[in-house]
Amino acid sequence: MSFSRDFIALACRKGVLRFGSFVTKAGRTSPYFFNAGLFDDGASFDALCGFYARAIRASGLAFDMLFGPAYKGIALAAGTAMRLAGEGMNVPFAFNRKEAKDHGEGGTLIGAPLAGRVLILDDVISAGTSVRESVDIIRAHGAVPAGVAIALDRMERGLGKDSAVREVSDFYGIPVVAVATLDDLVAFLADDATFRENLPAVQAYRDAYGTHATR
């Protein structure tokens, strides 16, 4: 999709997507590193949430509200809700605290009550810990997890032969929507003169550890 390539281009320009030699949580040496926390100014973060909104709408996924797991998901849920509202789709959102508050409104949740079909927003899926915690919270409140929206699907093997993203999708029986995938990154590198020198290393990494995208 055109917005996937636009997202990759923004991530490269902003330094969110960097190239070099990085050790992943799985202990692999990756030729690229994605850090959504570096969308750290108003313009780029607004654009990021706009990409989430476009990916969510393009997926056709049915949901009633958004949930952002602490910490990165908090801003993503709020920002994406605003972008969706600007496109005529006004949905409530909520997020959690890491620790319960024992005064004021109390509890661990802030925002709208969890109800109906809840779409989880996060930056990436690595071990799936954040998704698991989010699903537990959503179900504990009597709501239903509708899916997960992430920025980048690295399309690499998780614990088994499938990708970490597909493992999460299959385990919980929910779809995962990605703004962009490793395939989108490879296509972008092949066409962009500034970053093309990184293509052989990324392709080699995909050959070694890659799987298919979920979408």
Residue 103 is among the residues annotated as catalytic for this protein? yes
Q: Which of 25, 103, 161, 212 is catalytic?
A: 103
Three-state secondary-structure class, residue 100: strand
Three-state secondary-structure class, residue 148: strand
Which residues partner with 158 through β-bridges?
none
Q: Which of 98, 101, 141, 161 is catalytic?
A: 101
Nearest to 18 by CA among 198, 212, 142, 179: 198
* Segment (H or E) for 91: none
Q: What is the C-alpha separation between 47 and 40, in angstroms, rounded?
A: 11
Cα dihedral sign, 32-179-40-14 = positive
Q: Which residue stretches of 87-147 are H helix? A: 129-140
Instruction: Please name the amino acid found at residue 196.
Output: R
Residue 72 is among the residues annotated as catalytic for this protein? no
16 Cβ contact list (under 8 Å, min separation 6): 10, 34, 35, 36, 38, 39, 44
- Which tokens is 143 given? 């709501």
Instruction: Report the catalytic residues.
Output: 101, 103
